[in-house]
């Protein structure tokens, strides 16, 4: 009798285990279908008002409609994007915390900082590139230079007297200035801020002289006359500012620097959720209204598969590592 009861108990346990396993297998697709069931947060590693923030809010608003859940932007500025990056990397990999990464956080900082609080490759799951953005060389209108050649001449005549602001050490804005220093053979003073917006505020106020700012956060001030456009950093002129020359054609042959922005989830986010987010983001970035909003900011929208974005990041990391080494820039 005891033997029979043991068999019965063992059979019941096996049946229960089998049922649980079946439930677990079924939960994967079911969980993916249920996602998202609550608000999603996009961590932005720079201050409100800068390009990363502007793009995150445009995409977030459209994503809210596509996914049917609120999308909240959480600005965590500092350390060239590393503070926000570390926060997002350690978030639960459930698809409810996303990260608006940049060329700085995912292709530059690893070469620039001696100690990184996260691994840009291992700690994130790439979703898609969001946009490519030119940097725009702008000056306070009171300054005596109106083009690249005049800026170079002034900087050479006054070494160490021209200051350029950036959104932080190691940002693409910072390195665009360092690259200009190297190629134009001038000495300018770098002034880092915790984001593009406060740097632009000081540029307009005259506390700094120039800036190689991302176009979305500078273009409105150019249109209003608060900032003087000098040149764009890309190989071709921007359709939004067709009369503004490239730095290469205006006096520094071969100069080119482009910023990019992309959406990430924490590493180990379930594949079905990654696919769901990628599909939603690609659809949003192809929407005519979103494309129009991004184009008005001087940004070119992108939509690609996670593996394509991952390969792009690998190439960008190699490229910018060489730029950092050549510039001599470093952050302890």
Q: Is residue 10 part of a domain?
A: no
98 neighbors 40 (Cβ within 8 angstroms)? yes
Give the model confidence (pLDDT) of 40-63 as tens digits.
999 999 999 989 999 999 999 999
Domain boundary at 250, 267, 301, which? 250
State whether 144 and 244 are in the same domain.
yes
Q: Is residue 279 part of a domain?
A: yes
DSSP state of 245: P
Strand partners, 164: 190, 210
207 neighbors 187 (Cβ within 8 angstroms)? no
Task: State the pLDDT at residue 328.
Answer: 75
State whether 246 and 140 are in the same domain.
yes
Q: Say how many C-beta atoms besides its own lie within 10 A of residue 177's C-beta.
A: 29
Alpha helices, DSSP H, located in the chain: 2-34, 51-67, 82-89, 103, 109-112, 148-157, 172-184, 196-205, 215-224, 247-250, 271-285, 288-296, 306-327
Q: Phi/psi of residue 118, each to 5°? A: -160, 160
264 has pLDDT over 70: yes
Predicted TM-score (pTM) of this structure: 0.78
22 pLDDT band (50/70/90 cuts)? very low
Least confident of 11-20, 83-92, 248-257, 262-271: 11-20
Into how many domains does the chain fold? 2
Give the model confidence (pLDDT) of 138-156 as tens digits.
999 999 999 999 999 999 9
Q: Is residue 308 part of a domain?
A: yes
4 has pLDDT over 60: no
Element containing residue 189 per DSSP (H, E): strand 189-192
- What three-state secondary structure class fits 199? helix
State whether 122 and 43 are in the same domain.
yes
State whether 119 and 227 are in the same domain.
no
100 neighbors 261 (Cβ within 8 angstroms)? yes
Q: Is residue 125 part of a domain?
A: yes
State whether 243 and 138 are in the same domain.
yes
Domain with 191, as residue range(s), is 134-250
- What three-state secondary structure class fits 79? helix
State whether 230 and 287 are in the same domain.
no
**CATH, residue 48:** 3.40.190.150
């Amino acid at each position: 009798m005891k033997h029979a009861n043991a068999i019965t108990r063992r059979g019941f346990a096996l049946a229960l285990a089998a049922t649980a396993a079946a439930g677990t297998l079924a939960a994967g697709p079911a969980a993916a279908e249920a996602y998202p069931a609550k608000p999603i947060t996009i961590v932005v590693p720079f201050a409100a008002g800068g390009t990363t923030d502007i793009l995150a809010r445009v995409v977030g608003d459209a994503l809210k409609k596509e996914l049917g859940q609120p999308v909240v932007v959480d600005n965590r500025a500092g350390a060239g994007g590393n503070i926000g990056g570390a926060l997002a990397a350690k978030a639960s990999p459930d698809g409810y915390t996303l990260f608006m990464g940049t060329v700085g956080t995912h292709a530059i900082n690893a070469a620039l900082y001696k100690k990184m609080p996260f691994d840009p490759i291992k700690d994130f799951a790439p979703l898609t590139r969001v946009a490519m953005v030119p940097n725009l060389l702008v000056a306070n209108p009171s300054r005596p230079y109106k083009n690249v050649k005049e800026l170079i001449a002034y900087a050479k005549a006054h070494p160490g007297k021209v200051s350029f602001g950036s959104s932080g050490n190691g940002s693409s804005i910072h390195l665009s200035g360092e690259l200009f220093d190297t190629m134009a053979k001038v000495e300018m003073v770098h002034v880092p801020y915790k984001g593009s917006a406060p740097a632009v505020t000081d540029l307009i106020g005259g506390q700094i002289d120039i800036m190689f700012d991302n176009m979305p956060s500078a273009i409105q001030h150019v249109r209003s006359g608060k900032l003087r456009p000098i040149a764009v950093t890309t190989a071709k002129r921007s359709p939004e500012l067709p009369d503004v020359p490239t730095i290469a054609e205006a006096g520094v042959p071969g100069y080119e620097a482009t910023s990019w922005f992309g959406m990430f989830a924490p590493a180990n986010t379930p594949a079905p959720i990654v696919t769901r987010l990628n599909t939603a983001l690609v659809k949003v970035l192809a929407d005519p209204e979103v494309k129009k909003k991004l184009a008005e900011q001087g940004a070119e929208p992108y939509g690609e598969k996670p593996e394509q974005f991952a390969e792009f990041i690998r190439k960008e990391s190699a490229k910018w590592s060489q730029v950092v080494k050549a510039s001599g820039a470093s952050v302890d």
